[in-house]
Structure 1
Amino acid sequence: MTRPADSLIIFIARLALAILFLWGGAMKLLSYAGFVGYLHNKGVPYAAYAAPLAAAIELIGGLALVLGVRTRAVAFLLAVYAVVTAVLGHDFWNMTQASLQQDAVVHFWKNIAIAGGFLLLTVTGAGRASVDALRAPRSSGLLG
């Protein structure tokens, strides 16, 4: 059971993480051809299939975070996604131009930090301000 203040902080964390993914997913759809081209340039296999999958993960995952739906599972999926995108999208070890490499290093570690936030949500759950909390069985009686 979480205290009301804890639930508020968890809700704010869910919103902060969700905004990033909702915005990212929307931008991927709005510049879809460019995103597919980016994936091709990065050597992502099956870029034509990976692009809609990435946009869907970000949009559906972001919405699930806002609402607090299946938060533990969604957060774990998004943690894995953040690590995969760090490795595929910010491969600083393959870059030779110093300024590009420095930028990629920052983005790589930001993705890893975001994954850490998702892993915390995997452990804490959504808190009281969520669909998950509404669906949880309520204890009643003297022993509950």
Structure 2
Amino acid sequence: MKITDLTLLTGRALLAAIFLISGFGKLADPTGTIAYITSVGAPFPELGYAIALLVEIPLAAALLLGYRTQITATLIALFTLATAFMFHFDFSNQLQTIMFLKNLAITGGLLQVAVFGAGRLSIDTCRR
């Protein structure tokens, strides 16, 4: 096992962690989450909630395990970019600006994973 393998696994774990924690938080408070989605004027808040749960729990778990990593990372990246523009596009608010930039940085990391794959410590490698 090489340091590169551990680094790729660690990178996936750190990226997945933010989504898993957020997803389980949303799962614990559906009413609050749907109210927040509604408050920003997003259409179909219940559908948005369902999409968020789908991305933040099973897709993040797939990313962590390295399962169909390139497509998974791409889908999570698209979700993250969309949420940056939908929920954090208020540049008059410093916190929202920071959250917007955080989402862009996460998107960049996910795109790196999408291009280079999960590495050897992944289900993708076991499937080959």
Normalization by structure 1: what TM-score? 0.86
1:1-144 matches, cutoff 5 A: 4-93=2-91, 95=92, 101-136=93-128
Unaligned runs of 5+ in 2: none
Matching residue's letter, 1:85: T
Structure 2 counterpart of 1:65, one-letter code: L
One-letter amino acid matched to 1:24: S
Q: Does the CA contact (< 8 Å) of 1:4 and 1:128 recur in 2?
A: no
Letter of the structure 2 residue corresponding to residue 104 of structure 1: Q
Distance 1:76 1:59 in 2: 15
- CA contact under 8 A between 1:83 and 1:112: conserved in structure 2? yes
CA distance in structure 2 between the partners assigned to 1:43 and 1:124 by the alignment: 36
Structure-2 separation of matches of 1:91 and 1:124: 29
Partner amino acid, structure 1, of 2:77: A
CA distance in 2 between counterparts of 1:56 and 1:14 reads 18
Q: Deviations 1:44-102 (Å, cap 9, x if unpaired)?
A: 10001110111111101111011110000000111111100100110214x5xxxxx00
The separation in 1 between residues aligned to 2:94 and 2:16, in whole angstroms, is 26
Counterpart of 2:43 in 1: which secondary structure?
coil
Percent of aligned pairs with the same amino acid: 34
Where does the alignment leave 5 or more consecutive residues of structure 1 unmatched?
96-100, 137-144
Runs of 4+ in structure 1 off by over 3 angstroms are none
DSSP-derived class of the 1:92 partner: coil
| 1:19-67 Cα deviation digits (max 9, x unpaired) | 1110000001111100000000111100011101111111011110111
User: Number of residues paired by the alignment?
Assistant: 128
Q: Which structure would you say has the larger Rg?
A: 1
